[in-house]
């Protein structure tokens, strides 16, 4: 088989556009020994597919499958009176429990909470807002820097302990 044809079939194969006959041609082509170097990388794929191919299912399989799919006569179970009584008792118990839970449930009544007048804390001056924001960001930065310092010290301590084993 021409190497150019193999490359075209490979492109179509990976796009999912090959027929079963073309895939069989590819498998036969990759079993040959005279492959160019750029195509040898695909050989393990086709070897794997050849080794792990699905087994052929024969007529016996079809017959067994069709026999399993045939509608079978339904089995009718007759329940004893005791079973019916227990089922009804369970349903009544569930209904009473649900009613009791529903009656015991009282939605939280809306209580008046002492209101806070947040408008007196609102900043009106843009310069003051900038100063407050920058001080908050500066504080956050300091806190984060302290966290990284602690982490760095811990890392350094652990690194010294580990390096002790390699001395």
pLDDT for position 92: 96
DSSP-assigned letter for residue 70: S
pLDDT for position 88: 95
pLDDT for position 108: 63
pLDDT for position 94: 95
* pTM for this model (two decimals): 0.34
**Burial letters 55-87, b for 16+ CB under 10 A, else e:** eeeeeeeeeeeeeeeeeeeeeeeeeeeeeeeee
Residue 88 CB burial class (10 angstroms; 0-12, 13-18, ≥19): exposed
pLDDT in tens, the chain (167 residues): 577 888 888 888 888 898 888 888 888 888 877 777 888 888 888 888 777 777 777 778 888 888 888 877 778 888 889 999 999 999 999 999 998 888 877 666 666 666 777 777 788 888 999 999 999 999 998 888 887 778 888 888 888 888 777 76
pLDDT for position 135: 92
DSSP-assigned letter for residue 41: G
């Amino acid at each position: 088989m021409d190497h150019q044809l193999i490359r075209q079939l490979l492109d179509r194969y990976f796009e999912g556009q090959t027929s079963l006959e073309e895939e069989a041609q590819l498998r036969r082509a990759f079993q040959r020994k005279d492959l160019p170097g750029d195509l040898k990388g695909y050989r393990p794929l086709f070897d794997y597919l050849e080794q792990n191919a699905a087994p052929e299912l024969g007529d016996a399989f079809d017959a067994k499958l069709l026999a399993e799919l045939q509608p079978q006569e339904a089995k009718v179970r007759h329940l004893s009176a005791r079973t019916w009584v227990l089922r009804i008792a369970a349903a009544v118990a569930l209904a009473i429990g649900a009613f009791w839970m529903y009656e015991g449930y009282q939605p939280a009544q809306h209580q008046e909470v002492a209101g806070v007048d947040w408008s007196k804390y609102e900043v009106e001056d843009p310069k003051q807002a900038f100063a407050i924001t920058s001080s908050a960001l500066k504080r956050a930065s300091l806190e984060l820097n302290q966290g990284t310092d602690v982490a760095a010290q811990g890392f350094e301590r652990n690194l010294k302990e580990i390096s002790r084993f390699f001395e």
